[in-house]
Amino acid sequence: MTEADIIDEFHSLFAGTPPAESSLAASMMPTKYAALQSGGQTIYNEFDLTSGTYAVVCFIIDPGTDCPHLMDGMMTAFTIE
């Protein structure tokens, strides 16, 4: 699965009924999270990751749109070789 595939599949998971053959949903495994914080603040996390493809996704709901931030582009995928 490429980085672009991961981003596309996250969008489809949150845009309605997910595809029946969602390989992303079956392989997701949370590794870290960040607690809620005030706007305008920065938080840092340290990760010890092995080789693989990962996604960083914000699931916090925007009160103005009632959509998770990931739907506004707050996600990225990256590969560690």
Domain span holding position 40: 3-80
Q: How many domains does the chain have?
A: 1
Q: What is the pTM of this model?
A: 0.65
CA 30 from chain centre, in angstroms, equals 10
Determine the Cα–Cα distance for residues 4 and 78; give it in Å rounded to an integer: 9
Give 19-61 pLDDT, tens digit per residue.
666 666 667 777 777 777 787 888 888 888 899 888 888 888 8
Confidence of residue 72 (pLDDT cuts 50, 70, 90): confident
